[in-house]
Amino acid sequence: MESERRALLAVKSDMYDHGDRFSSWTGKDCCGWRGVACDNTTGHVTKLDLRYPCTKTFMRPIPYLYQYDTWHVFLTNETIGVSKVNLSLQELKHLKYLDLSSNNFALAPVPKMIAALVHLEYLDLSKAMFDGLIPPQFGNLSKLHHLDLGGWYDNRLQVDDLDWLSRIPSLKYLDMSSGGNYLSGDMPETLQSLRDLEYLDLSGNSNVSVRMPTWLGNLTSFAIFKLVGNKLIGGEIPPIVGDFTLQILGHLDMSYNNLSGQIPRTMDGLCNINFDS
């Protein structure tokens, strides 16, 4: 599709290039470009993988906490310049897979136009230096199976409610981890509607300060559940959590919280569990 090839080139024009990142993006056959895949029948672009190709995943702004126009990757001595999300991205209406992770978007807002890509099944915006509220319009992405919004230690993404998640019932993977102030208040009851979840990470949301929710026992598909460093105040672990972990959970990590009381006897049979404090 020539119109989609032009849209891809417009998107590329606003992405930081360290020299050979887009070296394969030449010629007419955009379906053969690195990070791009197309439907074999229609020719529409269905996959766009623009994650920054970095082997080291620990990055911090320079200078720390004060200026975000560059990122530095420790151990590789690499600086990542600023990227922007070009408006032409919304022309790729048939995308099922979009990965913008680990780029430096320099505290730009999360683009609302992503919510128009209603065929998305996979969306990764993690560690990409976006800022502000997660658009509730993301609830339009009803076909999502994988949603990664995880951030760094000083993550600036925020959410005031998660009701929009209830409109994505097919979610199997949800990462909203952070090292900073992300979720706040009660652990969202909305999450109990996501009955197909297999992976949930809410780690590092230091303002989540409630008791352990009993609705965890209603979820039926968990394989991995992480609640590290949320400072759950006065929270005892409900016995029902032990019941469901024995049945389906492969990994449970609730370390570095303010949990209290006894570990339920229902957890006696677990062999991969972390309650470090």
Dihedral sign for Cα 144, 150, 156, 160, please: positive
The yes-or-no verdict on residue 186 having pLDDT over 60 is no
Token reading at 151:
């951030």
At 64 the pLDDT is: 37
Residue 267's φ and ψ, nearest 5 degrees, are: -95, 5
CA distance 271 to 128: 35
pLDDT tens sequence across 101-156: 989 898 899 999 999 999 999 999 988 888 888 899 999 999 999 999 987 555 56
pTM for this one? 0.79
pLDDT at 59: 44
The percent of residues in the chain predicted with pLDDT above 90, rounded, is 36
Identify the structural domains of the chain with CATH numbers, from first to last. 1-150 (3.80.10.10), 159-277 (3.80.10.10)
Assign 12 a pLDDT band (cuts: 50, 70, 90): very high
68-114 pLDDT, tens digit per residue, is 344 444 444 467 889 999 999 999 999 999 999 989 898 899 999 99
Phi/psi at 89 (nearest 5 deg)?
Answer: -55, -35
- Give pLDDT, residue 242: 59
Cα separation of the two ends of the chain? 55
Average pLDDT, the chain: 76
Query: Which range is most confident: 56-65, 93-102, 232-241, 249-258?
Result: 93-102
Phi and psi based region of residue 75 (left: phi greater than 0; alpha: psi -120 to 50; beta: remaining): left
